[in-house]
Amino acid sequence: MSVFRMLAVMAALGSAGWARAESLVLLTENLAPFNMAVSGSNFAKGEGVSGISSDTLRAVCERAQVECQQILRFPWARVYQQTLNDPGYGLFSVARTTERESLFKWVGPIASNDWVLIAKADNPIVLNDLQGAAPYRIGGYQGDAISQYLIDRGLTVHTSLRDKQNLKKLVNGQVDLWVTSDPAGLYMARKEGVTALKVVQRFRTAELYLALNKNTPDALVEKLQGALEGLRAEGRLGAIAAPYQ
């Protein structure tokens, strides 16, 4: 093989390697209205995944010219661990907590979510602060940052593998309070035909991010962040969210 041909092959291989580096698998779960399976199932990919965060990241990847495959799977603990372990993977929509800060590289915020305690509308519970919830039975989502926030502050949270189970427990009187988020929790409740609910404590606003495996090249992270900021400056993010509100 001539020197020139060898150099051409090496250049082609280098380009192919760069193309592979400019691709990501973005994992998520059902968390309407941010990310959800169009079919309503616990598995979806590509255009079968929709929602505020999903559509936002689709626009971000298109602008950044990064090939991003979206996959929705269950449970959250599985996709969280895969993103921690495997280069080339990302996870959304993730609350950027102190505990998680050093575990990932971050792009965002892509959306925001209020952390709330919800009761049935006819429940007389009144809370002046978060610790006031201590005497009550609280239902939460297993592995979720919102549930963990309460647990870290000494509150007992009875966790379920699916957040929809907490809504059912609340309606059936098995728990007094549901720790969830607004709009996600209330959106899910409306879809289930449950509207007689009230927010009794709004205790934190969490911005939601794309969390990338720590081995993601900084240049790629910066490219995605730049694309997001460009969309934000143009007012595109509000237009993306509008159909889900």
CB atoms within 10 A of CB 100: 16
Rounded CA gap, 34 and 84, in Å? 21
The 10s digit of each residue's pLDDT in 184-216 is 898 889 989 999 999 999 999 989 999 999 999
* Beta strands 138-141; 177-182: pairing state: parallel
The 10s digit of each residue's pLDDT in 51-60 is 999 999 999 9
pLDDT of residue 15: 40
Rounded CA gap, 230 and 245, in Å? 23
pLDDT of residue 156: 98
| CATH of 113-205 given 1.10.1740.10, 3.40.190.10, 1.20.58.340, 3.40.50.300 | 3.40.190.10
The 10s digit of each residue's pLDDT in 61-93 is 999 999 999 999 999 999 999 999 999 999 999
Question: What's the pTM value of the predicted model, to 2 decimals?
Answer: 0.71
Burial label for 112, CB within 10 Å (0-12, 13-18, 19+), is: middle
Sheet containing 23-28: order of strands: 44-45, 67-72, 23-28, 89-95, 197-213, 104-120, 177-182, 138-141, 157-160
CB atoms within 10 A of CB 46: 10
Which positions ≥6 away from 82 have C-beta within 8 Å? 27, 89
pLDDT of residue 12: 44
Rounded CA gap, 6 and 114, in Å? 57
Per the prediction, the chain carries an average pLDDT of: 91
Decide which of 31 and 107 is more confident.
107
Topology given in CATH for the domain delimited by 3-112+208-244: D-Maltodextrin-Binding Protein; domain 2 (3.40.190)
Contact status, residue 182 vs residue 199, Cβ threshold 8 Å: yes
3-112+208-244 and 113-205, same CATH topology:
yes
Rounded CA gap, 193 and 166, in Å? 15
**How sure is the predictor about 14, in pLDDT bands with cuts at 50, 70 and 90?**
very low
Name the residue ranges covered by the structural domains of the chain: 3-112+208-244, 113-205
Side chain identity at residue 208, one-letter code = L
Rounded CA gap, 138 and 118, in Å? 9
Estimate the crossing angle of helix 52-64 against helix 218-233, to 10 degrees: 110
Side chain identity at residue 235, one-letter code = G
Q: Encoding tokens for residue 242?
A: 């509008």
pLDDT at 2 over 50: no
Which positions ≥6 away from 241 have C-beta within 8 Å? 52, 56, 111
Angle at CA of residue 195, ends 168 and 177, nearest 5°: 50
